Amino acid sequence: MAGEPQDDCLFCKIVAGTIPATVVRETDTTVAFRDINPQAPTHILVIPKAHYKDAATLGAQAPQLAAAVLAETQAVADEEKLDSYRVVFNTGSGAGQTVWHAHAHVLGGRGMQWPPG
């Protein structure tokens, strides 16, 4: 069920504290932590604490929480002193989503190319 923790979800386990992560920010509704396989000098994931399978579901079912995730991407960029950065939401396996818990990638610290791949 949307919003409820999932026993088999890696990110739900990070929220619960049963799997360690390098947390850089936390609010009542979000957690931001460093990606274990960074694709840029700065690569931080911002996730809602509540489980939504992808960005589309999060946006449709909890738009205020989606806004909180997006606001946290700016807070992360500010703390990391990124004057330019990329925010990516992968939705679906064809787009590269591998963890089925909505999350935003904050990427920075190097020049970004377009198209992204």
43 carries an active-site annotation: no
Q: For residues 36 and 21, give the distance between their C-alpha atoms in angstroms, rounded to a whole number.
A: 8
Q: For residues 87 and 70, give the distance between their C-alpha atoms in angstroms, rounded to a whole number.
A: 9
- Give 2's contacts (C-beta < 8 A, 6+ positions apart): 50, 51, 52, 53, 57, 61, 62
Given the residues 43, 51, 103, 105, select the one marked as catalytic: 103
Q: For residues 34 and 36, give the distance between their C-alpha atoms in angstroms, rounded to a whole number.
A: 6
Catalytic residues: 103
